[in-house]
Amino acid sequence: MAEVLVFHHGHGLTDGVRAFAERLRRAGHTAHVPDLFEGRVFDRLEECVGHAEGIGFGTLVERGTAAAETLPADLVYLGFSLGVLPAQKLAQTRPGARGALLVEACLPVAEFGGAWPDGVPVQVHGMDADPFFAGEGDVDAARALVDTAAEAELFLYPGDRHLFTDRGLPSYDERAAADVTRRVLEFLDRVG
């Protein structure tokens, strides 16, 4: 079984993120879910963005890196949207990574120092008309990653919702979220 470090999205450590981590645990995996917002949870996107900008994206990545320091090196890093920042950084730079699951975001690989590491499989999930994922370049970064990494997959789901995997948010899409969950569990079974 795999050990997974799960990073929440910009709304904070919501019940939906906790439920996703619990689903991983029920499948036999170990899931760690640090709170990068130190207990703050937001209802509105504008609040999320303002809080993240106020903290600073670099600080959020540092908090994610610190959360990994006490854990074994052979982790799978999973990030939802904003949580992809620390997940992708750790997968690319921390030796021993078992894999990466990037949900609703993907940065250019050059952001964290160049090529995707050999032997680290990655999946990217997002909606094909999500204004953030598809409209702000994340899908292009994901396609470039798939073109250059040995073990990379991109899954696009029909729709225009962001944070479609969090069952506690209005943007939740049950069918697409079920497909993401199934593919994530298959990935974890392969790398675990």
Per-residue model confidence (pLDDT) at position 48: 67
Alpha helices (runs of H) in the chain, residue ranges in sequence order? 15-26, 45-55, 57-69, 84-93, 138-148, 174-191
Domain total in the chain? 1
Local mean pLDDT, 10-residue blocks, the chain (192 residues): 96 95 98 90 74 79 94 98 96 97 97 92 98 96 96 98 95 98 98 91
Residues 111 and 37 sit within 8 Å (Cβ to Cβ): no
CATH label of the domain that carries residue 37 = 3.40.50.1820
Per-residue model confidence (pLDDT) at position 60: 87
Per-residue model confidence (pLDDT) at position 59: 85
For residue 91, give both structure tokens. 């997968």
For residues 187 and 181, give the distance between their C-alpha atoms in angstroms, rounded to a whole number: 10
Per-residue model confidence (pLDDT) at position 177: 98
Give pTM, 2 decimals.
Answer: 0.95
Which range marks the domain in which residue 28 is found?
3-191
